[in-house]
Amino acid sequence: MGFDVSLDNILTSTTATVRYLRSAHPGRSVYPVGVEDLVNEISEAGIETDEEDPDIVLLAFDTSITYEKINKAYRFLKNGSLFVATHPDDLCPTEDGYDIDIGPFIRMFESMTGAKAEIVGKPNRRMLEMAAEKMGVRTSEVVMVGDRIYTDMRMAENAGTRSVLVLSGEATREDLEGSGLSPTAVVGSVADIPALIEKSAL
């Protein structure tokens, strides 16, 4: 996309989830509901995958989801497996608009099994703390920029950091008014952020 960054500069919810599983649940097996790349990333990190009796059901965005996967995850959760999800987004942006993300699936599994999902990515402050640690800064020095109120802006509030809501994506001013959240700044797009810095508004 023209940005001068490497993979080492990018922290995804999947990367954060792998780190979380290794630190919080070392040695536990996982049944992943996700695309092949997710399964490969888990395996490469040394996390055992198990399709028979897993300790954890891991739910991620899965364009290859099937009734077989859904029913296996349901049975594992009913039998006591822990429930971990990479993120709670309801919609995933695409070139043609939006696709259904995993938020509705989280609610479905929770309502059907009674299991409560541990969310690793936004709005959990854990992901922001991971990013701050990687950059070698304190969370108080971070500014969260995003276009989603219930994940981006909520995470900033949960972590006590400054935030900029951009209106070029999912959120509108009307959404913000009903959210109960107060970002540090609201702008039309990321192109407006340099002007905020010049005015010392961040």
Q: Which helix (H) or strand (E) holds 85?
A: strand 82-85
The C-alpha atoms of residue 106 and residue 62 are separated, in whole angstroms, by 12
Domain boundaries, the chain: 7-119, 137-198
Q: Of 12, 23, 60, nearest to 38 (Cα)?
A: 60
Q: What is the mean pLDDT of each successive set of 10 residues along the chain, which is 202 residues long?
A: 85 91 96 95 95 98 96 98 95 87 97 97 91 92 94 94 94 92 95 90 79
Provide the CB-side half-sphere exposure for 29 (13 A, CA): 11
- Domain 7-119 shares a fold with domain 137-198: yes
| Overall pTM > 0.95 | no
CA distance 126 to 119: 10
Structure tokens that stand for 37 in this block: 């790349």
- Is CATH 3.40.50.1000 the right assignment for the domain spanning 7-119? yes
Residue 47: count other Cβ atoms within 10 Å of its Cβ: 21
- Name the CATH superfamily for 137-198: HAD superfamily/HAD-like (3.40.50.1000)
